[in-house]
Amino acid sequence: MKKRPQRPIDRSLYNEGPELDATALDTPERILSYCRSKGFINGASTDIKAVIESNPFLRLEFDDIGENDAFIEKIDDQMYRIVINARHSRTRQRFSMAHEYIHYQLHRDEIERMPKGERILHRNEERNSIEYQANQLAAEILMPEQTFFQVARASKGSIERIASEFDVSQLAVRYRAKTLGIGGHGL
Ligand SMILES: [Zn+2]
């Protein structure tokens, strides 16, 4: 397996361009650029499973993990394992995958201290916590802002139709609408 050089990331190396490093996508914009360059966006839906599976340093597994949605753990020097609750709906699993993927891209140094199992979108988080950030950015990569407004308009604000377009849960759509400062009845 190819070793990643052990040196701090020179952020200037990862600005745009077709050769985005899949292990160093530290903003939602870079993650989405990577997805577009790899053809992982189908219609409005981001294929987060394909994004994770395309990364040789990530292993994706589905297992019965009880009340929890998912977790990520370090399994050796550079390898990480993401485990998703096998009993949850596909849309809920997709949000869990995006949340753990954000932990991998942005909170890698914290992963060893994370519990082996967490509940996602079903708890209130401090706005400055990494959990809050993981939910925000997961929503952003699954429902990019511009696309969200387009889809919301075309769907006449129907939460059900928006959820279907993005292949996410209605809870995730409501959460995203709230983070974009829109809400109320319908949208
Ligand atoms: Zn988390």
Q: Is residue 116 over pLDDT 90?
A: yes
> Ligand 1 centre and the CA of 2: distance in Å?
28
> Ligand 1 centre and the CA of 136: distance in Å?
11
- The DSSP result for the chain, as a single string, is -PPPPSS---GGGGSSSS---TT---SHHHHHHHHHHHT-EETTEE-HHHHHHT-TTEEEEEE--TT--EEEEE-SSS-EEEEEETTS-HHHHHHHHHHHHHHHHH-GGGGGGS-S-B--SSS---TTSHHHHHHHHHHHHHS-HHHHHHHHHHTTT-HHHHHHHHT--HHHHHHHHHHTT--SS--
Residues with CB under 5 A from ligand 1 (ion): 118, 131, 134
Q: What is the mean pLDDT of the chain?
A: 90
Average pLDDT over residues 147-160: 95
Q: Phi and psi at residue 72, in whole multiples of 5°?
A: -130, 140
Q: Is 185 left (phi over 0), alpha (psi -120 to 50) or beta?
A: beta
> Ligand 1 centre and the CA of 93: distance in Å?
13
Tokens of 8: 């701090």
> Ligand 1 centre and the CA of 116: distance in Å?
10
Q: Are strands 45-46 and 80-85 parallel, antiparallel or unpaired?
A: unpaired
Query: First vs last Cα of the chain: how many Å apart?
Result: 48
Name the least confident of 46-60, 106-120, 121-135. Answer: 121-135
Q: Where residue 122 falls among pLDDT bands split at 50, 70, 90?
A: confident
Name the least confident of 21-25, 69-73, 87-91, 119-123. Answer: 119-123
Name the least confident of 16-25, 127-136, 153-162. Answer: 16-25
Instruction: Give pLDDT tens digits for 34-80.
Output: 999 999 999 999 999 999 999 999 999 999 999 999 999 999 999 99
pLDDT score for 19 = 74
> Ligand 1 centre and the CA of 134: distance in Å?
6
Domain boundaries, the chain: 25-179
> Ligand 1 centre and the CA of 77: distance in Å?
21
* C-alpha atoms less than 13 angstroms from C-alpha of 94 in its C-beta half-sphere: 23
Q: Where residue 121 falls among pLDDT bands split at 50, 70, 90?
A: confident
Considering only the C-alpha atoms of the chain, give the largest distance between any 2 of them, rounded to a whole number of Å. Answer: 52
Specify the residue for token string 């950015």: 137
Which residues are CB-contacts of 156 (< 8 A; sequence separation ≥ 6)?
186
pLDDT-above-90 percentage for the chain: 79
pLDDT-above-70 percentage for the chain: 88
Instruction: Give pLDDT tens digits for 74-105.
Output: 999 999 999 999 999 999 999 999 999 999 99
